[in-house]
Amino acid sequence: MRKIIIPTDFSENAQNAMRYAVELFKYDRCEVTILHAFADEVYENNLNISRSLFEEYKKKTKQSAEKELEELLVFLREISPNPRHAYKAKAVFSNLIDAVNEHAEKDNSDIVVMGTRGQTDDRDLTFGSNTLQVVKYVSCPVLAVPSNYTEWHPKNVLFPTPYLMPFRRRQLKLLNTLCKNFNAMVHFLYVSEYDNLSFRQQDNKAFLDYCMEENQRKYHTTKGKDVVKAVNRYIEKMKIDMLVMVNHRHSFLEDILHSNTIDKIGLKIQVPFLILQNLPR
């Protein structure tokens, strides 16, 4: 059974991510957990009150969150009365990163699905602050869904990779299943100034090819070192409807995420973005 976490701040963007998730995984047996972390909300709104009033406010905030979560469960069962899916919800007094990581570790979760932006919905940013933090610090795959994105079924998936690090079989199996369910074409993109692959790269590419052998796939090579420019060009050229990248130590993606310059660099992600985490778990 696939285990999915969907964090929510009760925004429309979060609700759209729920729609996308249940449609994307409609062919799989899934346990979907809607997770709301409310510690920041409680702390930020109670600067000058007594401890007893603080505890009372925390209790009321949890009760309110649980009521909204119950309404979301009703909404999910209405839009996706899928017998393969089981839905549950949790309100947790914790920060978002700790709540997601703790649940992912406890349940051995497969993926986190969330909107690219939350309640603030700053359309000048690719990722809102919460999404960026989850992508950077949560150690299981994260699928970030742009607001109002409604192309539920991926047909062309772009996977840029330098083939420098070993891939994780479990995460490639996740991608394999997603693409196979929708008969999607996977476009692997190698951006380099060099023509030849090292033995390490050849072995990693061979493993990738083996794990994705059930999928339609094409391998592209483009000369140069501007990965962002190449990715943006291929997203438009190939009519890409999902971007996949691997986040690992000293990777191109980690450099972008940890410098907080994903927008300044110009990586304009207007399609769902699946980040496979090759990080300690």
- The domain locations on the chain are 2-145, 156-273
CATH number of 156-273: 3.40.50.620
Dist. CA 35–CA 103, nearest whole Å: 9
Helices 199-211 + 169-181 axis angle, to 10: 50
What phi, psi does 236 have (nearest 5°)? -75, -45
Rounded distance between C-alpha atoms, residue 14 and residue 115, angstroms:
5
Using the 8-state DSSP alphabet, how is residue 149 labeled? -
Question: Residue 269's pLDDT is what?
Answer: 73
- CA atoms of 45 and 49, how far apart (whole Å): 10
Q: Which CB contacts under 8 angstroms, 24+ apart, belong to 8-12? A: 8/34, 8/35, 8/36, 8/69, 8/72, 8/114, 9/36, 9/118, 9/119, 9/130, 10/36, 10/68, 10/72, 10/119, 11/115, 11/118, 11/119, 11/121, 12/121, 12/147
Each of the 281 residues of the chain gets a pLDDT tens digit; together they read 999 999 999 999 999 999 999 999 999 999 999 999 999 988 887 667 788 888 999 999 999 999 999 999 999 999 999 999 999 999 999 999 999 999 999 999 999 999 986 555 445 445 677 888 888 888 899 999 998 888 889 999 999 999 988 889 999 999 999 999 999 999 999 999 988 999 999 999 999 999 999 999 999 999 988 888 899 899 999 999 999 998 876 555 555 555 544 444 445 678 999 999 875 54
Q: Which two tokens stand for residue 24?
A: 């994307």
Same fold, 2-145 and 156-273: yes
CA 264 to chain centre: 21
CATH number belonging to domain 2-145: 3.40.50.620
Evaluate whether 109 touches 140 at the Cβ level (below 8 Å).
Answer: yes
3-state secondary structure 106-125: HHCCCEEEEECCCCCCCCCC
Other beta carbons less than 10 A from residue 51's beta carbon:
7
pLDDT of residue 47: 67
CA angle in degrees (0–180, nearest 5) for 33-35-39: 160
Q: What is the pLDDT of residue 16?
A: 94
Cβ distance 168 to 276 under 8 Å? Answer: yes
- Contact at 8 Å (CB) between 55 and 1? no
Angle 211-215-218 from CA coordinates, rounded to 5°: 95
pTM of the model: 0.89
Q: What is the dihedral of CA 264, 270, 276, 280, to 10 degrees?
A: 40
The residue behind tokens 């607001």 is 147
Question: What is the distance, to the nearest Å, from the Cα of residue 100 to the centroid of all Cα atoms in its chain?
Answer: 12
Give me the residue label for tokens 């979301």.
72
